[in-house]
Amino acid sequence: MKLLGKLALYAVALLLLAIAALDIWGYATLGTLQPASGEPRDASANRVVLVSGATGSVGDGLLKAAMEDPQVEKIYALSRRTSPRIEAGVESGQVELLLHEDFTDYSDLAGVLTEVNTVLWGLGTSSLNVDDETYTWIHVDFPVAFVGEWLSARTDAPMSFHYVTGMGTDAKGDSHWAREKGRAEIEVAEMAAGTGLRTFGYRSAFIKPASDRANIGHDLLAALLRPGRLVINSEDLGGAMLEISARTGELANGTLIDNADSIAYAKAYRAQ
């Protein structure tokens, strides 16, 4: 038993050292963007918001952020099913649920897409949950098909597409998931080039669930990762997206946003 106790202590110590090293790396390397002081904000840029993946832990927080923004007049939740937050939004009149099955075909949403200014794309899954082919289907085919249909419906600014791709995303990376999400970032940006649409890839680290869904485990992990700017609340991530949308002249189409960048824009969003 004493040996097991010592081994457990060693394991905890090694884990804490690894987290400390990660925090040092994050603090030293993350954060290449800063919100410009006094940048004009377009109050109409987020007038109509569509949230994808709103039943998941990330998308739920993005939806919560949109619901709490006074400049958002209408919200569409694109989903295969509902959730308590979607139901509350529908009941209050803030949210319209778009029940949808085929996420490679959005032709039936053409009328809706003519209205949409901002898309918060939180739809996704872990590479541990599916095979490579399914992963590509979800993380490349779904968003690329959506952006294609959206651009068929409208091309006039303000339009912005915010895709949560995750830290480690790299079109030339070693892992299949990293390459495919990187490929999706590139493809949607290329599709948007020359139109009124700007696309953004959010290479976030740990995204803590919305405050009313987080538990003590989430709180502990967040506390450990906060020194390295490696955690952001899902509501704050949504706020960062809405802030970047409103700053229509600041960031170019295809800009990649790391976790510290998101934290900076979330802070600017809360301050306005």
What confidence tens digit (pLDDT) does each residue in 235-258 have? Answer: 999 999 999 999 999 999 999 999
- pTM as predicted: 0.95
**28-75, pLDDT tens digit by residue?**
999 999 999 989 999 999 999 999 999 999 999 999 999 999 999 999
At residue 1 the predicted structure's pLDDT band, cuts being 50, 70 and 90, is low
Q: Please, are residues 65 and 242 in contact by the beta-carbon 8 Å criterion? A: yes
Look at residues 127, 177, 145, 179 and name the one whose alpha carbon lies nearest to residue 52.
145
Q: Residue 175 corresponds to which tokens in the numbers above?
A: 């892992």
Q: Which residues contact 214 (CB under 8 A, 6 or more apart)?
A: 208
